[in-house]
Chains A and B, each alone.
Chain A
Amino acid sequence: MVTAYVMVKANTGEADRLKNAILDLDGVVDAHIVAGDVDIVTKLDVDSPGDVKAIAADGIQGIQGVEDTHTYIAME
């Protein structure tokens, strides 16, 4: 089991739409709109590090309005 956090920076004011699109992805267990440098923090629970890449790179980055992501894999 791999847990990871993905920081999402948007380039649109439609934060609700982004959050819902992210929550619809398989492997995403939580997402919050946050104050600060990034706009949404997403938590993933998946089987392998490869799944993390698939969700962050293909899933989240593929949503229109996502400018950038930073992924942090939990070590414990």
Chain B
Amino acid sequence: MILVEANAEKADRARTDDFEVVEGDGSREPVLEQADLATADAVGALTGDLNVNFAACMVGKHYGARTVLRIDEDYREDIYRKFASDVDEVVYPERLGAIGAKNALLGGNVRAIADIAQNLQVVELTITDESPMKGYSISELSLPADSRVLAFGKEGSPMGIPLPDDSLAVGDRLAVLADFDVLEDVRQILVGDTSRATADAMQGGT
């Protein structure tokens, strides 16, 4: 991996940390060429300036690289996916930060893992003493139509593929993909009613 950095101080710091650094403006082809663009598999255009990022992606595409563009506001995601054909992937890093912050604030037995689409989220839920499904097996679990169990883990064990015979005990965790509309139902079924405030906060989105 080769970093392209316009700021001399930041470039120095990256070199100190043993990164290979090209100093210059990432929106300019000659600068990117110094970073062996012709042999690069991918170009990550991750600056705070959308014009620089877009230009770097156009140059990268021209050289046949996979391109990743960082956007600065989440509403622009759809726009760039639709209109920027030189861009393979659009990223909005602040969203990951927001998920992390939200989980830290919530604590407890519901944890957001990822926003899959605008209305679709993967959450990890922990079975509590109040859980209506405590003691039942996964095959007996009936969740709303717009939700799926993706993974299951006994307390203290890593998550794995859910099996019909797995039993749900206190402390066990399930990863569920659910539409926002049914997230509250899923939470009531798996976690129980005690953490009303948690659920309200979860529905607030990222």
Which residues of chain A have a CB within 8 Å of any CB of chain B?
10-16, 33, 35-37, 39
Which residues of chain B have a CB within 8 Å of any CB of chain A?
50-51, 54, 75-80, 82-84
User: Assuming the A-B contacts A15-B82, A15-B83, are A35 and B51 also in contact, with contact meaning beta carbons closer than 8 angstroms in the complex?
Assistant: yes
Sorted nearest first, the 8 A-B pairs with minimum C-beta distance are: A13-B78, A35-B54, A36-B51, A15-B79, A36-B50, A13-B75, A13-B79, A33-B83
Whole-angstrom distance between the Cβ of A37 and the nearest chain B Cβ: 6
* Known contacts A12-B75, A35-B84; 5 further A-B pairs (Cβ under 8 A): A10-B79, A13-B76, A13-B78, A15-B79, A36-B50
Whole-angstrom distance between the Cβ of A4 and the nearest chain B Cβ: 22
Whole-angstrom distance between the Cβ of B39 and the nearest chain A Cβ: 26
Residues of A within 8 A of B82 (CB): 15-16
Chain B interface helix/strand/loop/mixed = helix
Residues of B within 8 A of A39 (CB): 76, 79
Q: Which residue of A lies closest to B52 (CB)?
A: A36
Residues of A within 8 A of B77 (CB): 13
* 20 A-B pairs whose Cβ atoms sit less than 8 Å apart in the complex: A12-B75, A13-B75, A13-B77, A14-B78, A15-B78, A15-B79, A15-B83, A16-B82, A33-B79, A33-B83, A35-B50, A35-B51, A35-B84, A36-B50, A36-B51, A36-B54, A37-B50, A37-B51, A39-B76, A39-B79
Residues of B within 8 A of A36 (CB): 50-51, 54
Residues of B within 8 A of A35 (CB): 50-51, 54, 80, 84
Please tell me if the beta carbons of B50 and A11 are within 8 angstroms of each other in the complex.
no
A-B contact count (CB 8 A): 29
Whole-angstrom distance between the Cβ of A19 and the nearest chain B Cβ: 10
Whole-angstrom distance between the Cβ of A34 and the nearest chain B Cβ: 9
Give Cα A12 to B80, complex, Å: 12
Residues of A within 8 A of B54 (CB): 35-36
Whole-angstrom distance between the Cβ of B58 and the nearest chain A Cβ: 9
Give Cα A11 to B72, complex, Å: 12
Give Cα A11 to B84, complex, Å: 18
Q: Which residue of B lies closest to A14 (CB)?
A: B78
Residues of B within 8 A of A11 (CB): 75
